[in-house]
Amino acid sequence: MKKKNILIVLLLATILTNCKQYDDFTTFFNTYYNTKRLIKESESEFEYQDEKRRVTPRVIVPEQKNYSPVSQTTGPPAFMQEIIIDQQKLQPVKIKLDSVIIKGSKILARHPKSSYIEGTLYLMSKSFFYQRDWINSQLKCSELVDRFPDGEYSPDAHLLFAQNLIIQRKFYSGKIILSRTVDISWRKKRYDILSDAFRLEAELALFENDPQGALRPYRQAIAQSDDDAVSARWQLELAFLLYRLNRFEEAERMFAKVHTYSPDYLGEFEAYLYQAESLIRLKRFDEAEKILKSLENNRNYDEWAAYTYATRMQLIRQNGAVEEFEKTERFADSAYVNNPPVLAVYFEKGLELFDKKEYVKARQYFARTKNARTPFFATSDKMFNLLNSWEQKNNNINGLLSANPSIAKSSDTVKLQVALNYFELGRVYDQLDMKDSAIVYYQKASEITPENEPKSARFHFVYALAIEKLEPLKSDSLMELIVEKYPKTEYGKNAIKKQGYTANYIIDEAEDLFNSGSSLLLNKEFNFAITQFLRVFNEFPESSYAPRSLYSLGWLFENDLKIYDSSLYYYKLLLEKYPKSQYAKDVKLPVNYLLALQSGQPIPDSLKPVERKKEAVKGPEKKDSITIERVPNEKVGKEPEREAGSMSIDPLKLLKDPSKLLKDAKEAITDPRLLEMSLPTDPFKDLRPVKKDSVVNKEIKPIMESDTTKVK
């Protein structure tokens, strides 16, 4: 019996094994083989197009004090562009890559237990990646990593996963996956994947402005690579990084070491060229001259003659031969117009002249280099614009001083103009990282500006911040001056916070006037209340209390004084001046309705009363009038919500007596004494300058001429 059971088990195992083998056999020859073949053909096409494409050496400029790298806030980072397949390369193989997705989907659906699921997921993720479908590629990589964490394709999937994340600018997640890529590559001894992971870590560190952190991955990549061609590539990248960091002695050794590996044709030229550049900056001109002559005499490098010539220009410039440099410059302008390596020489020449304070000549060189798309075009553009501004502000100051020799006796307008130009000149020096010169011009602006001008707060505040560490007592005195003289300006508010004063230091005069008017209204001192409300509107038209004051004026004339023309006047003024305020919304309907009646034009549909069916009630129905229901206010303090025409008004009677609109609309307009609406916040309401002893605007009449006899 036992033998029989053993035979049955062996038979079942054999059957299952054969089924598994059969499933793998059919999967491979029916689908997987073709899927793998299509990916290989597509990648061969990419490599062929890359070989046909003209490749040129890189243009690298050592980072300097005013260097501004090209900013990129959207899209894939620049260092990822080389692995992204463009449309020109994608077009010939698009059908093949789509076929990979279709065949891979069939394998996943029909053979979910075959041995080729891992490979299928990876091939599908590559197909999605080549077609720039980052999300789907990421999902397939994630699925492979989850299901086969230690599988054959796990290192490849980890790397592709990280690339997808970085292209989508998910840098934090990309760093985590890169770290896991390094771990799995070490364990699997996949040094090719390990080298690529190190390169990505280095590029990411450079992208995040951490050049020192980028050196370690490159060194690790070189140490771990067992391919001389790959080692030469990373050795060259390391040398370029040291060159950019102005570590020329180390860079020269690294460029020389590139030749101990197996660099390609382009890498060999770049290594020789930038070794010469490094020697030039180390003032080892004779050694650089030997390398340059070797490159010039090698006919294999004739296509890159502009790069060799630009390096010779650099040698002449660094050697101090001014006349000889001018000759090479004239030749380059005719033979190599707008050539990137020549523009790099001009860019460094502009920086050299700028350091010598020859700003006009420096600007000429920046003007020549700011238009071409080079690694330094952003810096050239910034320097050109700043030097333009520098010249303009100096000309303005000289013109004002020549027309007004004695600034102390000049008008406040002239003083303010001179101070503004001094201040902006200081800002130019500040952006050029010339802090001492900036402080000098900030001080001149602070000393010249008239004290009674609110704009002076800006000059004092920036000057105080600039000398905060150098002269703390003077800086503190300037802050106190700003608090005392300009408390309602933006800079006054910042000075108040910086000096540690409480938030209640500034008194809102508009609020005080409005509260005074409200108290007088409650005490039935109507004439004085009108005066206070008008002062709020006239003196503080931008305050949040201005529309509320007009609303209160309209309500006062309508309900307390019964002067409906004046009430309508202020409601109309509210709609005109503050149409978006919540108070204007409250009166818009009745005012527009009355104005439509007075004009004699047909009533718009939006103002017509809403006719509603009446519920059955006892007693005879009135057929001659329309019942218009008012939506009640559920909570005092909240802006009432009304439907169009939701007022208890009889339109027939209104035609006979238009003023009855406001008489019968008391419920439609809320008593301002009970109104506690949440006023719109104004973060700058306390920063406006105070107008002392301002006169009430005579154009605003508290009472219409027809009603002047009713209120004295």
Give all domains of the chain, ordered by start, each with its CATH number. Answer: 1-226 (1.25.40.10), 404-505 (1.25.40.10), 516-607+631-707 (no CATH)
Nearest CA among 427, 426, 430, 400 for reference residue 414: 400
228-241 mean pLDDT? 88
Residue 376 has pLDDT above 50, yes or no: yes
Pick the most confident of 65-69, 234-238, 639-643: 234-238
Residue 684 has pLDDT above 50, yes or no: no
Residue 50 has pLDDT above 60, yes or no: no
> Quick one: pLDDT band at residue 620, thresholds 50, 70, 90?
very low
> Quick one: pLDDT band at residue 528, thresholds 50, 70, 90?
confident
Supply the pLDDT for residue 43: 82
pLDDT digits (tens, 9 = 90+) for 417-458: 999 999 999 999 999 889 999 999 999 999 999 988 888 999
Between CA 607 and CA 592 the distance in angstroms is 8
Residue 621 has pLDDT above 60, yes or no: no
Residue 700 has pLDDT above 70, yes or no: no
Task: Express as a percent the part of the chain with pLDDT over 90.
Answer: 38
325-353 mean pLDDT? 93
pLDDT digits (tens, 9 = 90+) for 82-100: 788 888 888 888 998 999 8
3-state SS record for 279-311: HHHCCCHHHHHHHHHHHHHCHHHHHHHHHHHHH
3-state SS record for 581-624: CHHHHHHHHHHHHHHHHHHCCCCCHHHCCCCCCCCCCCCCCCCC
> Quick one: pLDDT band at residue 103, thresholds 50, 70, 90?
confident
Supply the pLDDT for residue 634: 38
Between CA 316 and CA 638 the distance in angstroms is 79
Pick the most confident of 8-12, 478-482, 679-683: 478-482
From the number of C-beta atoms within 10 Å of its C-beta (0-12, 13-18, 19+), residue 248 rates as: buried
Nearest CA among 286, 302, 252, 250 for reference residue 272: 252
Supply the pLDDT for residue 704: 38
> Quick one: pLDDT band at residue 275, thresholds 50, 70, 90?
very high
Residue 37 has pLDDT above 90, yes or no: no
Residue 66 has pLDDT above 80, yes or no: no
User: Between these two residues, 32 and 171, which has the higher pLDDT value?
Assistant: 171
219-242 mean pLDDT? 85
* DSSP output for 332-358: HHHHSTT-HHHHHHHHHHHHHHHHTT-
Residue 618 has pLDDT above 70, yes or no: no
Task: Express as a percent the part of the chain with pLDDT over 70.
Answer: 76
Between CA 225 and CA 305 the distance in angstroms is 33
Supply the pLDDT for residue 161: 95
* DSSP output for 186-204: HHHT-HHHHHHHHHHHHHH
Residue 705 has pLDDT above 50, yes or no: no
Supply the pLDDT for residue 602: 65
Between CA 252 and CA 248 the distance in angstroms is 6
Supply the pLDDT for residue 693: 37
Supply the pLDDT for residue 219: 85
513-530 mean pLDDT? 87
Supply the pLDDT for residue 214: 84
Supply the pLDDT for residue 676: 44
Average pLDDT, the chain: 79
Supply the pLDDT for residue 712: 30
pLDDT digits (tens, 9 = 90+) for 116-158: 889 999 999 999 999 999 999 999 999 999 999 999 999 999 9
Residue 641 has pLDDT above 50, yes or no: no
Residue type, 402: S
Supply the pLDDT for residue 81: 80
The region of weakest confidence among 32-46, 52-66, 218-232, 598-612 is: 598-612
Residue 491 has pLDDT above 50, yes or no: yes
39-54 mean pLDDT? 69
pLDDT digits (tens, 9 = 90+) for 292-304: 999 999 999 999 9
The region of weakest confidence among 222-236, 352-366, 634-648 is: 634-648
Residue 614 has pLDDT above 60, yes or no: no
2-27 mean pLDDT? 57
> Quick one: pLDDT band at residue 12, thresholds 50, 70, 90?
low
